[in-house]
Chain A
Amino acid sequence: MSGGAGERGSGAPNGPLLEIADLRVTFATAEGSAHAVDGVDLLVQAGETVGLVGESGCGKSVTALAVLRLIEHPGLIAPGSRVRFEGRDLLALSERDIRSVRGNHLALIFQEPASALTPVLTVGSQIAEVVRTHQGGSRAEARRKAVELLREVGIPDPEERYSSYPHQLSGGMRQRVLIAIALACRPRLLIADEPTTALDVTIQAEILELLDGLQRQLGMAVLLITHNLGLVAERTRRVYVMYGAQIVEEAPTEALFAAPAHPYTQGLMAAVPRLDEPRDRLAAIPGQVPPATAWPSGCRFHPRCRSAFERCQAENPPLLECGAGRRARCWLVEEPVISRQVAKSPRTGQGEGGRAA
């Protein structure tokens, strides 16, 4: 199935827009093989906003890169992995075909707006370039579209700004330009990797508003990758939680925040300061994220988990159903009776592991 821009896959109209199945990515390092992504399954439906949450080092950014096949040496996507976008396996496409998907039907926004723009070219020309690459047309047309896009993302004086260089713009403006580039060809899915982390707090809200508005306007699906639970709570319909190169919990957002099933998710939420609950100190998850070259045996979270028992050390649990549209990678789902051993903590008292829905 080859072709230029505009060709669609033959996925059923009701099928998921993006379907990641058993994605594995390893990096060859001096210290051994680093398993950065180890069997990730993820779905995004058309028009949906999905969150992918986790700390740094859990593999979420690598997942995003793998979707667009941007993993480079010494990284390698394992042969058994599948990434279906609109029914087509992106990992099996030719170079030309994957290029016609990138930036066109599927766009990616990186974390650091400062370094994602080429410093020696004007911002306008970089937008126009993408337009011309995927939609053809003359230089003048591309320029016009670029100016329109600049206006769309809320940059004042777009005609003037077209000829600005990246270093002449503030961080927030640069991110707007990157959004303009990403949305130039009206992609059906936008993967936003920490879109606001590198920006000032006041600008963050503006950028998020912008993204919201554009998403509604374009009917676009968004995969929001972040470590910021607050963002995810407000904006997503479903959430995946990642730890140790694997998905450890997936749930509809409301349900997740109401009652997180996996101890890691519980720990993450406990660590967020809340105004409505007086507390003496912030609960931190003990220990540190282990290196990707040496994931612990059994459940990868068990060394840091208060509710761990023998089985956790021996076997790594698969994702187990624990409610409507919910799964958690935790033995407590199957063996709730052990919940007696769970130490009580102010926050987790409510949603202990093992609560059957």
Chain B
Amino acid sequence: MPTYLVRRFALALVTTAAAVALTFALVHLAPGEPFLAGAEERFVPPETIARLRRDFGLDRPLAAQFARYVANVARGDLGESFTRRRPVAAVIGETLPATLLLGGVALALSFALGLGLGVVQARRAGGLADAALSTVALALASVPAFWLGLMLLLVFGEWLHWLPVAGMTDAVAGPSRGWLALSLDVARHLVLPALTLALVNAATVARFHRAAMLEALGADFVRAARARGLAEARILAAHAFRAALAPAIALAGLSVPALLTGSVLVESVFGWPGMGRVAYEAIFARDYNVVTGVTVVAAVLVAVGSLLADIGVAAADPRVRRA
């Protein structure tokens, strides 16, 4: 098992390095000067440009710049935001927890929903419930997440006034409340965006898990378990579900990129102050340091998610451990 994990860890490192290299290449291959933040190049005197280039170290050879960038990233220095005049790492640090909260809750919710649906569908495979649930899953997997968010917002936020429509907290009430009130407030704001992300992802999980459960339920060991007089519920839970668990955990790891993608869109719909929204704003402000920083952090998150999933798979399926 240790060799297996070491290999996965090495892969995670390589992936992050590749992401860093790729974003660096993209930014530096683009025409124009990155730090002008939208200002027209021809209006800026050449001496200023030259000076700014020196200041940002852009007059050095590309390889040297890359080396310096990598060294910085390793240290946690992601450069400075052109528009906010603050370290990128600080900006990301402030907004990352919000994204992690949203993503984490969405992941958990999507798996609770998806696994449950998968089990129900497998039990009643071929029946009406199965077909109905499959249709729902198809619709959820085919709907754009941002549009679903808007529709939920419309229904629950505007028409029914059940839930707040934007932000993470109630701006009016202010930060000086007790942590319980604050938590509840955040939770209220979290419902719609997390539900949006969760519903879309749950569709994929349900579909996948249905197939995995059907395969497990059709396996010889399930029939053998029945022959021993075990109750169906027990066979379903302890045998079939356990056998189908490892692929589900692997899927969770694979869901991380999708959730990050979704978070960019959903955060902008709901005004959730996370990393995705920061990236979005930075793109239009031409604040490339922020965008590259976010991309690198996203790559790290994906790698970490993948690694955790691998550990989970090894825990759930003993056959993997000997690899």
Contacts and interface: CB of A to CB of B under 8 A. Distances in A.
Task: Check whether chain A touches chain B (CB < 8 angstroms).
Answer: yes
Interface of A: 68, 70, 99-104, 107-108, 110, 112, 115-121, 129-130, 133-134, 165, 167, 178, 181-182
Nearest to A68: B227
Contacts of A102: 226-229
A121 B220 contact: no
Given A120-B245, A165-B318, A167-B318, A110 B224 contact: yes
Nearest to B218: A72
Contact of A103 (B227, B238, B322): B227
Contacts, number: 78
Q: Which bracket fits the contact residues of B?
A: 20 to 34
A70 to B, nearest CB: 6
A99 B234 CA distance: 12
B311 interface: no
Interface of B: 219-231, 234, 238-239, 242-243, 245-246, 316-319, 322
Nearest to A98: B229
A181 B228 contact: yes
Contacts of A116: 220-221, 224
Interface centre among A68, A102, A116 (most CB of B within 10 A): A116
Contacts of B220: 110, 112, 115-116
A109 to B, nearest CB: 9
Contacts of B222: 118
A192 to B, nearest CB: 12
Contacts of B226: 70, 102
A115 B242 contact: no
A119 B319 contact: yes
Contacts of A112: 220
Contacts of B319: 119-120, 165, 167
Given A112-B220, A115-B220, A167-B318, A120 B230 contact: no
A167 B320 CA distance: 10
Nearest to B235: A118
Contacts of A100: 229
Nearest to B239: A118
Nearest to A178: B224
B229 A104 contact: yes
B228 A120 contact: no
